Amino acid sequence: MVDRPDVLPSADVLAMLDADPQGWAFARAVRSGATGEIEDFELLYLNDAGAGYLERPREQLLGRRYRAMWPDTVNEATLPLYRKVVDGREPVTRTVYYDRPGLTGHFELCIGPSGDGFAVRFVDLRSVRLGPQSAGGTRLYDVLDAGFDGFTLLRAVRGADGAVTDFVCEYVNRPGAVLTGRSVEDTIGRRWSELAGSGGARGLLERWVGVAETGRPWRERLRYPQLGQVWEVSAARAGDDAVAVSFRDVAAQVRQQERLEHSTAQARRAVERNAALLAVTSALVAASTAADVSAAIGSVLRPSAGGQGLALLLRRDAQLVLHYHAGYDPQTVERLSTVPLTHAYPATDVARTGRARFLSSPAEFAAVQAGGPGDPIPSGGRQAWAFLPLAVAGDVLGTLVIGYGAPREFDDDERANLGAFAAVCAQAMQRALLFEAQASIAGELQRALLPAELPEVAGLRHAARYLPWTHGADVGGDWYDVIPLGGDVVAIVIGDVVGHNATAAAIMGQVRNALRAYAAERHSPAVVMQRVNRLLLDLQPDAVATCCYLELHLAEGTATAVLAGHPPPVLRTAADTGTLALRAGPPLGVSADVRFNETTFLVPGGANVLLYTDGLVEDRRYHLDDGLADLCDAVRAAPSTDPNRMLDHVLTAGVGPRPRSDDVALVCLAVDPRPEPPATAHPSAQRRFRGDAVSASAARRFAADILTAWGERRLVDDTLLLLDEVITNAIQHTVGAVVVRLELAPARLRVSVADRSERPPSPRPAGADSENGRGLLIVATVAAAWGSIPNPAGGKEVWFELARP
């Protein structure tokens, strides 16, 4: 101790300071004789603890000046700080770190004026303990050094208005000081604005201010490429005016994470490429036309490949023709519409050579076309391009162009991926083009086999629809026809050859033509069907067809129909709607021994008849009864009798199976209302039959059907008995067709059979054991009247009458 009472306290105080475990020192100011300013400080007092921190005996330090003892700190902030305390008479607290011979550690300096000098209490922060002063205590700064890669404690510096303007570093460990690019000793005690300079760390000041003022912790990952480091920085308020900041170097973890993310990204891109390729493949599998393929490419491939523009150019002779585009402006689209293969546009070279080209920038794109024939095709706002060949088995169909909105480098994986896309697209396009060619041929065949237009028939309106279900080269076997037979008679036919192929279509055409020929010969419906059946067996023994043949007599208001394995027509009248109860026969082509039976029924004026194929009402999932019920409901509910409007209604009414699994043909007839007949007119009906054995049974069925339709069931038995005798006699004694006519008068039914023979019938006696000769006797006995009259056109007419009950 040096005796200087103007600086030193009393002896009692000094004795107390000698026992303090923390360091104490007193120093007096050494002033300039000329100016009186403080030039240095002389150490007057130092207790044992202080000497221990300095690791030097007190005798070597007392009386010595600051500049001599620590010359390297003269130009730093320490000596000016002491001057400020003495001259300004304001105590200060400062945390410093020293790492030099004779002085090492973190110290908190509490400096106050004392006379013409200062007193300082310095605490070794390493000795501050978390717990009690015991052997098990852990030193605070040892914990901080071990628990964090970097740690610093910043004390807020406030301005005149009380707002935080800066921070002073009170403590920092070595890793924390690295952030400022300084040593620990040079960091502690300095302001953050000074430490950060103009580097990236200066921006952290706003973060520290925010934490200090709001109390909300902050955490962020900061990168320092110049140091090769990545720091995870956390800040929290410590007390009212301090911010504790921890730094953790996570560069190794980040690099490992980046490697993992890179590997994951590569795997994800591979999965995405596979998924995109699968999506494109799935979309293209369902595409059956070139337009479908183009739409699939535009909706799936362009997003999958990451492109902003797409153009599909197909080869046609010596040029490329734009088949599809998306994302290009009208000017570019117009230039791409037709590109000669001699043009310098990269797509032409790809189409000629079959080798893909990748352009990474507009400069490359412009260089490729520079000096080539023709004006360059504009970029369309694209910055990079992939020109991919659409090639199948060495045959290049064209070029797929994918444009990108920014320059890009195409790595090997992306090139391979785009090549796979193009290969799938090429296969789909080739399949679609072949499909369209086949479909075109099939469509022409289908149109040739169906009537181009249906003939007009007086007193009858009609409409037809054909709904194909088949695709490509498949052609359905459904057909329909309207055949005028002269006068007021017209035949309507609808049928379905089993199968959906060119063979079925060819058979359908043969059946349709044969049926027209047999109908034109004025054979009865049953005979027409019989002959078509035999022809089908001769032409195609394995073929099967269904058919409905309807012979309509408009003046009479009657129709005769034959079914060959076909669903029955639907009849709608003012009174009712339902399927016709017709005698059913087997399909055509099943057997040569089958007989087709006719059914005759009334078709009043204003009625509708709907003929259709089975695809409308049934399939393996939908029962025929349900489909017929649907159809009858739809016909009944149709708002109009007009054939076209009725068909439109039926086809939108949800009839039958959905979705459909077969072709559908429909023909709708509308019989015009008939004028009111004169009072003398009676209901009548007649049919022409061949002069063979089966004609007798056919005539009996005709008569029974008509009488039943007229409501004369009580006359059926007698009529059939007499008609059988008369027509059998005509068939046995004449050659050619016979005509059977029924006329219903108010009191009597008149039945006549006309043939070509002019010989009148002559009853002859029959013996007791004779099997013949009784026919006319039965007629004479049962009939109310009978007779024979010559026919003006030749032949005769045998008639009989029965009284109506």
User: Of the given ranges (75-84, 122-131, 233-242, 631-640), which has the lowest mean pLDDT?
Assistant: 122-131
How far apart CA 778 and CA 483 sit, in angstroms, is 41
pLDDT per position as a tens digit, 293-327: 777 777 665 555 555 778 889 998 889 999 888 87
Residue 387 is encoded by which pair of tokens? 């020109």
What mean pLDDT comes out for the span 19-30? 88
How far apart CA 265 and CA 408 sit, in angstroms, is 18
User: Of the given ranges (17-26, 253-262, 357-366), which has the lowest mean pLDDT?
Assistant: 253-262
Closest CA to 749 of 711, 781, 796, 778: 711
User: How far does the chain reach from its first CA to its final CA, in angstroms?
Assistant: 163
pLDDT value of position 425? 82
Judged against a pLDDT cut of 90, whether residue 608 lies above it is answered with yes
How far apart CA 105 and CA 84 sit, in angstroms, is 24
pLDDT value of position 554? 94
How far apart CA 108 and CA 122 sit, in angstroms, is 5
Judged against a pLDDT cut of 50, whether residue 137 lies above it is answered with no
Judged against a pLDDT cut of 50, whether residue 703 lies above it is answered with yes
Query: 44-48 long-range CB contacts below 8 Å, 24 or more apart?
Result: 44/1, 44/2, 44/4, 44/7, 44/8, 44/117, 45/1, 45/2, 45/8, 45/14, 45/17, 47/17, 47/18, 47/20, 47/23, 48/18
- In the three-class reduction of DSSP (H, G, I as helix; E, B as strand; rest coil), residue 425 is classed as helix
- In the three-class reduction of DSSP (H, G, I as helix; E, B as strand; rest coil), residue 558 is classed as strand
Closest CA to 28 of 66, 69, 60, 57: 66
**What is the DSSP secondary structure assignment for residue 298, as one 8-state letter?**
I
Judged against a pLDDT cut of 60, whether residue 573 lies above it is answered with yes
What mean pLDDT comes out for the span 719-743? 88
pLDDT per position as a tens digit, 532-568: 999 999 988 888 999 999 999 999 999 999 999 999 9
Contact partners, residue 156, CB within 8 Å, separation at least 6: 164, 166, 167, 212, 241, 242, 243
User: Of the given ranges (250-259, 263-272, 385-394, 695-704), which has the lowest mean pLDDT?
Assistant: 263-272
Q: What is the mean pLDDT of the chain?
A: 83
What mean pLDDT comes out for the span 562-575? 95
Helix ranges restricted to H, 73-199 = 78-88, 140-147, 174-178, 184-187, 192-196
**What is the DSSP secondary structure assignment for residue 73, as one 8-state letter?**
G
Judged against a pLDDT cut of 90, whether residue 475 lies above it is answered with no
**Residue 339 and residue 320 in contact, taking contact as beta carbons nearer than 8 Å:** yes
Closest CA to 791 of 725, 728, 734: 734
Rounded to 5°, angle at Cα 273 from 404 and 323: 50
Residue 213 pLDDT level (bands cut at 50, 70, 90) = confident
How far apart CA 356 and CA 410 sit, in angstroms, is 12
**Residue 577 and residue 521 in contact, taking contact as beta carbons nearer than 8 Å:** no
What mean pLDDT comes out for the span 688-705? 88
pLDDT value of position 26? 92
Contact partners, residue 98, CB within 8 Å, separation at least 6: 104, 105, 107, 185
pLDDT value of position 408? 86
Contact partners, residue 551, CB within 8 Å, separation at least 6: 485, 489, 490, 491, 524, 525, 559, 560, 561
pLDDT value of position 100? 61
- In the three-class reduction of DSSP (H, G, I as helix; E, B as strand; rest coil), residue 90 is classed as coil
391, HSE (Cβ side, Cα atoms, 13 Å): 16
Judged against a pLDDT cut of 50, whether residue 177 lies above it is answered with yes
Residue 95 is encoded by which pair of tokens? 């945390």
Rounded to 5°, angle at Cα 171 from 168 and 174: 120
Q: Is 804 exposed, middle or buried (0-12, 13-18, 19+ CB in 10 A)?
A: middle
Closest CA to 5 of 117, 102, 101: 117
**What is the DSSP secondary structure assignment for residue 300, as one 8-state letter?**
I
pLDDT value of position 272? 65
pLDDT value of position 415? 87
**Residue 497 and residue 477 in contact, taking contact as beta carbons nearer than 8 Å:** yes
Closest CA to 638 of 598, 681, 668: 668
Rounded to 5°, angle at Cα 363 from 362 and 366: 85
pLDDT value of position 202? 64
How many CB atoms lie under 10 A from the CB of residue 401? 27
How far apart CA 723 and CA 735 sit, in angstroms, is 18
pLDDT value of position 783? 92
**What is the DSSP secondary structure assignment for residue 65, as one 8-state letter?**
B
Strand arrangement of the beta sheet that strand 150-158 belongs to: 164-172, 150-158, 242-249, 229-237, 218-224
Residue 133 pLDDT level (bands cut at 50, 70, 90) = very low
What mean pLDDT comes out for the span 608-612? 97
Give per-residue burial for 250-285: e unless 16+ CB within 10 Å, then b: beeebeeeeeeeeeeeeeeeeeebeebbebbbebbe
Q: Is the dihedral of CA 72, 74, 75, 81 positive or negative?
A: positive
How far apart CA 719 and CA 782 sit, in angstroms, is 9
Residue 1 pLDDT level (bands cut at 50, 70, 90) = very low
| Residues of the chain above pLDDT 70, percent | 85
Amino acid 423 reads A
How far apart CA 62 and CA 43 sit, in angstroms, is 5
pLDDT per position as a tens digit, 586-603: 999 999 889 999 999 999
Backbone angles phi, psi at 492, to 5 degrees: -120, 130
pLDDT value of position 549? 97
232/724: higher pLDDT: 724
**Residue 735 and residue 691 in contact, taking contact as beta carbons nearer than 8 Å:** yes
pLDDT value of position 492? 96
How far apart CA 127 and CA 133 sit, in angstroms, is 10
pLDDT value of position 550? 96
Residue 693 is encoded by which pair of tokens? 């054995």
pLDDT value of position 5? 52
pLDDT value of position 136? 39
Amino acid 683 reads P
Count of residues making up the chain: 805
Query: 135-141 long-range CB contacts below 8 Å, 24 or more apart?
Result: 141/106, 141/171, 141/173
Give per-residue burial for 293-311: e unless 16+ CB within 10 Å, then b: bbebbbebbbebbebbbbb
Q: What is the 3-state secondary structure (H, E, C) of 208-266?
A: HHHHHHHCCCEEEEEEEHHHCEEEEEEEEECCCCEEEEEEEECHHHHHHHHHHHHHHHH
Residue 132 pLDDT level (bands cut at 50, 70, 90) = very low
727, HSE (Cβ side, Cα atoms, 13 Å): 31
Residue 20 is encoded by which pair of tokens? 């303090």
370/435: higher pLDDT: 370
Residue 775 is encoded by which pair of tokens? 């026919």
pLDDT per position as a tens digit, 151-176: 888 888 988 888 888 998 888 877 77
pLDDT value of position 145? 55
Rounded to 5°, angle at Cα 194 from 193 and 198: 70
**Residue 405 and residue 374 in contact, taking contact as beta carbons nearer than 8 Å:** no
Radius of gyration in angstroms for the set of CA atoms belonging to the chain, rounded to a whole number: 57
Q: What is the 3-state secondary structure (H, E, C) of 721-738?
A: HHHHHHHHHHHHHCCCCE
What mean pLDDT comes out for the span 486-502? 86
What mean pLDDT comes out for the span 769-773? 56
How far apart CA 682 and CA 679 sit, in angstroms, is 8
Helix ranges restricted to H, 498-579 = 502-520, 525-539
pLDDT per position as a tens digit, 424-462: 888 888 887 777 766 666 556 666 667 778 899 999 999
| Residues of the chain above pLDDT 90, percent | 32
Most confident of 68-82, 145-159, 281-295, 692-706: 692-706
Judged against a pLDDT cut of 90, whether residue 464 lies above it is answered with yes
Torsion of the alpha carbons at 297, 299, 300 and 302, rounded to the nearest 10:
70
pLDDT per position as a tens digit, 390-420: 888 888 889 988 888 888 888 888 888 888 8
86/308: higher pLDDT: 86
